[in-house]
Amino acid sequence: MRGILIGFALGVACLQQQAELPGVAVICALVRMFGSACAIAFYLPRFRAASLITAALIVGFGYAA
């Protein structure tokens, strides 16, 4: 749970470091990456923690956008 919250906070912090908001292409790429991270978490249990933290980072980035 802490890892997911830290990932979300890192996603928000990554966006705040940028000078401008991301474009539509970046948002579409983030949606695809989120889907991939969720699929990896579901099908490969060994990588579940890392992929869920990555998914949380992507959600935090998108939330801040």
Compute the distance between CA of residue 26 and CA of residue 64 in angstroms, rounded to an integer: 13
Provide the residue count of the chain.
65
Instruction: Cite the DSSP H helix spans in the chain.
Output: 2-16, 24-43, 48-64
Give me the amino acid identity at 36. S
Q: Which domain holds residue 42?
A: 2-64
What pLDDT digit, counting tens, does each position of 5-15 carry?
999 999 999 99
Count structural domains, the chain: 1
What pLDDT digit, counting tens, does each position of 22-52 carry?
899 999 999 999 999 999 999 999 999 999 9
Q: Are the C-beta atoms of 56 and 11 separated by less than 8 Å?
A: yes
Compute the distance between CA of residue 39 and CA of residue 44 in angstroms, rounded to an integer: 8
